[in-house]
Amino acid sequence: MCLKMTNVLTGLLGFFLITAVIQVSAEDAFTVFFDGGKEFSAIKANVDAIRISGNKLNTDLSNRLTKIESSIEKLTGMMQNLAKNMESLKGARKCKISITDINRKHEL
């Protein structure tokens, strides 16, 4: 009698464990079996929509980063030209221009 009771309790425990696993893996445990996989199709469609929007987002971010990189390259070129111009101005400062008048004297 005790062995039969143990087998029955083990069977019930197994049934409840299987039901709990199915309930955790799906919103409604019985729709997995009765809807013929429509719920999984809806989940797959949602995942595909998220993937497509993620690809669009990645493309948009990539385009923006490309524009930022080109702007940085332009700014770097402008700063290099500015540095060259400053060096040439620094070299030109050695050559002084002086204007002398009777009352005053100016040097540039």
pLDDT tens digits, one per residue of 4-42: 778 888 888 888 777 766 665 555 545 555 556 666 777
Q: Which of 26-40, 68-82, 86-100 has the lowest mean pLDDT?
A: 26-40
Residue 14: the pLDDT is: 83
CA distances from 21 to 8, 10, 29, 64, 107 (A): 20, 16, 9, 45, 92
Residue 54: the pLDDT is: 79
Which residues does 29 contact at the CB level (< 8 Å), separation at least 6? 19, 22, 23
Question: So where are the chain's domains?
Answer: 1-34, 36-108
DSSP category for residue 99: E
Q: pTM of this prediction?
A: 0.41
